[in-house]
């Protein structure tokens, strides 16, 4: 089983949704409902697409340039955004994510699965244009932010989207910070981007989990400095659309509280997923939410379909 901060949030909002996403979804095999859960798991809103586009441009274009202590011309950024949006929108519109023979790896940069298209079969050009403008505003804000001084400093090494994995009680704790800045003579700095206008939740818990993960993965520092104290790691949440940043510094009691949160959350997940075999699960054990979450839930079609026979071992019938 894998644990991450996003899986923990999903679990606490709706256990049933976590079941669809983490236990039922499977691309391979002959159970059509498990295949469908896998496809539905891939869907994201156009707002989450906006965030992914921003992440892509920062990781693939900006970070390599910042590491060379250079800035790309803005028209290069604009061209990359236009090209990406065009090919990904085409992929999503043709619903190629539903092609059973095509893997995400093969689809590469083209891969995109949009909820709005899956549900309504349309997305007007005005909505697309707004998303594009917001992506460009986010990137413009970053380029004029006070973070740039750190990015372009001569002794800084930037690493984007690095996987930081460690284990607690045999469970893989998975983290992928948007950006880690390593300094020659100082502890690292972790930055998390947010590309939305209306979110109110702060990133303290998320960044706290990342700092514990970074301290656990000691071998990641390109300057080979020992780093085993998460309270020394500096943390910044940067709101790309608002050009606003919030800094966090953890105390030892924050670290203990976050470790306790991880432990409590994964214990609850382990309790519900103690069966290793999908065919032994009882869906009724996974509580449904009572919040408005259902309206935007990727799995609502599966959830409402009471005819689905969960946990039917089709291989049994195939070999009969």
For ligand SF4, the binding residues (CB under 6 A) are 14, 16-17, 288-289, 293-294, 297, 299-300, 303
CB 30 within 8 A of CB 199: no
Within 10 Å of residue 296's Cβ, how many Cβ atoms? 10
Residue 24 or 142 with smaller CB distance to ligand SF4: 24
Q: How far is the CB of 315 from ligand SF4 (least distance, A)?
A: 26
Q: Which residues contact 216 (CB under 8 A, 6 or more apart)?
A: 164, 166, 173
CB 71 within 8 A of CB 143: yes
Residue 16 or 33 with smaller CB distance to ligand SF4: 16
The length of the chain is 320
Q: How far is the CB of 40 from ligand SF4 (least distance, A)?
A: 10
CB 265 within 8 A of CB 271: no
Residue 210 or 286 with smaller CB distance to ligand SF4: 286
Structure tokens at 51: 């965030």
Q: How far is the CB of 313 from ligand SF4 (least distance, A)?
A: 23
Residue 149 or 284 with smaller CB distance to ligand SF4: 284
Q: How far is the CB of 288 from ligand SF4 (least distance, A)?
A: 4
Residue 217 or 283 with smaller CB distance to ligand SF4: 283
Name the DSSP class of 286. Answer: S
Give the burial class of 263: count Cβ atoms within 10 A of its Cβ; 0-12 exposed, 13-18 middle, 19 or more buried.
middle
Q: How far is the CB of 18 from ligand SF4 (least distance, A)?
A: 8
């Amino acid at each position: 089983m894998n644990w991450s901060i996003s899986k923990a949030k999903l679990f606490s909002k709706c256990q049933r949704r976590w079941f669809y996403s983490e236990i039922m979804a499977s691309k391979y095999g002959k159970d059509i409902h498990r295949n469908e859960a896998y496809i539905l798991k891939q869907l994201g809103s156009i707002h989450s697409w906006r965030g992914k586009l921003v992440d892509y441009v920062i990781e693939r274009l900006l970070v390599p340039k910042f590491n060379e202590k250079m800035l790309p011309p803005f028209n290069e950024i604009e061209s990359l955004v236009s090209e990406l949006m065009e090919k990904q929108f085409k992929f999503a519109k043709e619903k190629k994510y539903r092609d059973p023979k095509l893997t995400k790896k093969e689809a590469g940069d083209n891969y995109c699965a949009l909820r709005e298209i899956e549900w309504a079969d349309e997305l007007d050009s005005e909505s697309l244009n707004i998303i594009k403008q917001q992506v460009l505003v986010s990137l413009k804000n970053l380029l004029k932010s006070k973070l740039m001084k750190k990015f372009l400093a001569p002794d800084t090494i930037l690493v984007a989207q690095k996987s930081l994995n460690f284990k607690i009680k045999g469970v893989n704790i998975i983290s992928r910070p948007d950006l880690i800045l390593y300094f020659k003579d100082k502890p690292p700095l972790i930055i998390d981007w947010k590309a939305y206008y209306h979110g109110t939740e702060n990133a303290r818990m998320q960044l706290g989990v990342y700092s514990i993960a970074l301290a656990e993965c000691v071998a990641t520092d390109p300057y080979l400095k020992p780093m085993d104290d998460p309270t020394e790691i500096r943390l910044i949440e940067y709101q790309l659309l608002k050009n606003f940043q919030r800094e966090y510094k953890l105390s030892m009691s924050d670290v203990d509280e976050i470790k306790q949160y991880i432990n409590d959350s994964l214990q609850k997940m382990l309790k519900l997923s103690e069966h290793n075999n999908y065919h032994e699960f009882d869906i009724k054990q996974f509580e449904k939410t009572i919040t408005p979450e259902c309206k935007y839930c990727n799995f609502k079609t599966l959830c409402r379909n009471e005819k689905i026979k969960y946990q039917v071992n089709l291989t049994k019938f195939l070999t009969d």
